Structure 1
């Protein structure tokens, strides 16, 4: 977390991913969020970091990176990802992955030397023949980035 004046202004939420564990699909009982979970699960299957890095057995997945609008452009997201990477490496994790749902998070990942491993235009992701996500430009794709630690 990033805190300013006793308020949380930034958050980086990471989860551990392991080669031997079968990842479960999360059901949060909210269809809006479940749509996003299904998209991320689809992307994970297309871009399995353990296939890309077969020598690795565990990594960190950034699930959420968010900064309050009033604090954007101050380097908070950069610092949060850098700190998460350092902590992950110290704890023996071998890679970090970020699923970027916006152009801004994609630019952040690229700035931090993450590499694109998968990209999916939102217009190409459909359920029952219907486009599921229609965000405003410039947010046109989900992009998965990886970085070996």
Structure 2
């Protein structure tokens, strides 16, 4: 159980007091490194900022989010998981939020993932009334490839089991994230090519470099 320490890095449950550091961490390591944000010239971290802060803090309040910190260096944040418990009604909430978002890139991101969520239809597919949704897993760029992402995902699985959640799901836009989760026993049950998602004018919205070609919906029964 958490907290757990290995190689000078401790993983623990995230608290609201962590959020200012976590938000800065995401700006530096997530928004523009994540495949749908690679190479963009829009300020993704500022789009829907107030609503996204509210959403993230709501996730943190559920005590399912994780933070990894260095034991030295004043507890510097080196990895995060934002996760939440979801129920079927949340799909409609996400659709409404996405459709009401502006036509900037983050709004398109929300619309894309809402469509994937509805197409995957995990609640009906697996016959569950709730699930653990792993929204974001991210590791400091300098520490990638060293197993911290796998540690975070495995720790989240343990937290989900301890809370009695029957299913864990992650929508992996990164090829490497999907491969990592497959190695932990998660299965891809639905995928959607980035090039098939287009704006109102018919233009491809997301065109990340290979091998990031699809969003993959990864699932594991807990």
TM-score normalised by length of structure 1: 0.92
CA RMSD of aligned residues (A): 1.6
Counterpart-to-counterpart distance in 2, 1:141 and 1:92: 30
Q: Does 1:140 align with 2:213?
A: yes
Residue 79 of structure 2 corresponds to which residue in structure 1?
Answer: 10
Q: Which sections of structure 1, spanning at least 5 residues, go unmatched?
A: none
1:16 to 1:23, Cα distance in 2 relative to 1, 3 A: farther
Counterpart-to-counterpart distance in 1, 2:185 and 2:129: 22
Residue 125 of structure 2 corresponds to which residue in structure 1?
Answer: 52
Counterpart-to-counterpart distance in 2, 1:60 and 1:38: 21
1:73 aligned to which of 140, 145, 148: 145
**Per-residue deviation, 1:19:** 3.2
Higher strand share: 1
1:94 aligned to which of 166, 169, 179: 166
Deviation per residue, 1:84-110 (Å, 9 max, x gap)? 111111111110000000111111111
Residue 105 of structure 1 corresponds to which residue in structure 2?
Answer: 177
Residue 33 of structure 1 corresponds to which residue in structure 2?
Answer: 106
Higher helix share: 2
Native 8 Å contact 2:187 2:220 kept in 1 = yes
Native 8 Å contact 1:10 1:66 kept in 2 = yes
Native 8 Å contact 2:91 2:118 kept in 1 = no
Q: Does 1:131 align with 2:197?
A: no
Q: Which sections of structure 2, spanning at least 5 residues, go unmatched?
A: 1-66
Q: Secondary structure at the match of 2:93?
A: coil
Number of positions where the alignment pairs a residue of Structure 1 with one of Structure 2:
148
Residue 121 of structure 1 corresponds to which residue in structure 2?
Answer: 193
2:93 aligned to which of 17, 24, 28: 24
**Per-residue deviation, 1:30:** 7.7
**Per-residue deviation, 1:16:** 1.1
1:84 aligned to which of 152, 156, 167: 156
Native 8 Å contact 1:20 1:57 kept in 2 = no
Larger Rg: 2
Q: Secondary structure at the match of 2:210?
A: coil
Q: Which moved more, 1:66-75 or 1:13-22?
A: 13-22
Native 8 Å contact 2:91 2:117 kept in 1 = no
Counterpart-to-counterpart distance in 2, 1:105 and 1:84: 15
